[in-house]
Structure 1
Amino acid sequence: MADLLRLLLRVAEKAANVARVCRQEAQLFQLLVQEKTGDDKNKKFVQDFKTLADVVIQEMIRHDVGAQFPEMADFIHGEESNKFENGLGESVTVTVCGTEQETATLLATVLDGDHVAASLLARAIHQDPATIVANTDSLKVPLSPSELGIWIDPIDATSQYIEGREEVLEEGHLFPSGLHCALVLIGVFLRNTGEPVMGVINQPFNHKIPEGGGWRGRHFWGVSYGNVNVCSESLPAAGSGGRLSVVLSSSEKQVVKEALTSLCGPDRLMYASGAGYKILCVIQGLADVYVLSEGSTFKWDSCAPHALLRALGGGVVDLRKSLQSSSKAQDQQIELTYHQPYTECKGANRWANHGGLVAYRDCSQLCSVTGALRGKL
């Protein structure tokens, strides 16, 4: 498991490099945007975009993890289809090849023969990142890779990534939108139970380098299984005055906003973009709880940050089931799981978190929120 965690930290940083390269070249970036259609379209947005960066990152992670842990190769799932249509209307299956040159040649067919852009991408895909510092050597978890599956969200909050608004992050503050909301998420779960056991989050656009205008990222990780609970983040101090703070989507239902305003006060209700970023805000203590009443997030959004929250003593529950639950003893049974699709749905919706969710660090905070919402939804 220590080897797997080190690998996931490395491939997440490679993914962050790809995301940064794609934003640095405006002409390249314009070539990469393609609207999703059909069953893969996220119903929440009028326009939902798939980028080649998404597909390339997903397939790179799939390739690298499968190469080191072949027993996991058939259990690595991602948000994106790896089919991409070029300007000639040809459908190209994007994969990562054995060499940089082979990958560049394949990508050139997607990029309508733009060999310069294809080479730039291929170099980022095949280039090893700088060493990631993480205290993982002593990690002992009685699990085998053959018991595990992976969910990848190559670039969560794609709309923020595409828009590209730059914000200067301040320590201890939540910012509602911007490039920093775009995250690389890699979550590991048990195939037989769906329990999330490991998560890696990479924030490619954490802070801007004054000289040169490039970006540096930041990574977060956590492992939770049995008696092992280890996280790169520590539990934050209690909120001001002990009052609960909640982060929501700006599109959240009015009835939810009103119920939570009554619970927290208007100054403790915050809004942010990206499901992964909102759960990261809970992990970092920028908010106590994230509430979403709609089924508009997916397993790839929540798996990685869910594992970090579990390592901190919290979790992510199905909101609908939580509101129907009559006792605290049932809370463990309503945690989100990641191994079974909704067979009655099609496309991406088979893997939606249909009941909405609550991400929390403390069970008492979860109880406060569900108490305020019970009977309202």
Structure 2
Amino acid sequence: MTATTTLRTAADLEPARRKTPGWVIACVALYAAAVFLPFLGTRTLTPHEVMVTHPALRILEDGHWIVPRFASGFWLDKPPLVNWLTATCFAIAGGFSEFAARLPAALSAVGLCVLMSVLAGRFFSTRVALLTGLVQASCVYMYMQGRLGEIDIVLALLLTAAHGVLLWHWGGGGFDLPWRASLLFYFLAALGVLAKGPVAVALLGATVIAYAIWRRSWRPIRAVLISPGVLVFVLVAGGWHLAAAYSVGAEALQEWNYNTIARFLGLHRLGSQSFFLYFRDIPWMVLPWTVALVLGARVLAAGYRGPDGTVHRFLWSWFLGGLAFLLLALFKHKHYAIPILP
């Protein structure tokens, strides 16, 4: 939302474009790589990074890929996708290093910048496509999390890609979702669940519901739900949960309940937070572009009324739908807002 709605003029409100120039993608990729990749290994791991890295190391030691171990027990706070990625990086690197531990997040940050540039290039001018990638790479929250070996930027990349599938087909005003696109959407959604749990589905669902309300039509919801891709989601996300429950038993169900439902209801040991937390944190997380968003409000309004108004409605549904869900949860954290910010 931030990257695609800043630094635009009326000249940029063009009909849909089909391809982002290769030189734009290269520039964005090189700039993002220069921001996120250098000196990844110069700092010791934070406690949150250890929660990803330690299970990854245990995977390589004991081969328990389905449910990694943490200390003397099982690691069930989060699904293991990022642990798997980190373990793979360690295996390729020949062992542990801070650089390898942070590489999945850093590469995801680069990929997220490129993806946003490609999406912008489909609907807006080449100038906007370039600026979108550069703006995405320079937000505070990207630099804050894109260089840490944690889950959030990996999740943001997966959910942005899933949203991008919908936007790619709905941005022209229609509601159809071809079966191949449906398979990709649900595969990305399943990977999001394997990265951070059911919150991935909740955020995607919030976008679709908000967009359906905005368009005053059930067709977006129907296009997503009545789809062969649902089977892919069940096989990938459901398959891991069944395998984990079979391996660990009742402990898995207890931990999932505690880390999802109890957390949502504020019954987790971390408690609950102020309703206004995201209103406080999001403005500084998207710095320095918060100022551009405020100053460009008139341009945003012109875009909403322009030929790309459908794209704007989808982007606002992505942000506002996700924000509404996050506000409903009694437990809040600034990291949870990251998937709704691109």
TM-score class, shorter-chain normalisation, is under 0.3
Query: Larger relative contact order (C-alpha < 8 A, sep ≥ 6)?
Result: 2
Which structure: greater strand fraction? 1
Which structure: greater helix fraction? 2
Name the TM-score, length of structure 1 as normaliser.
0.22
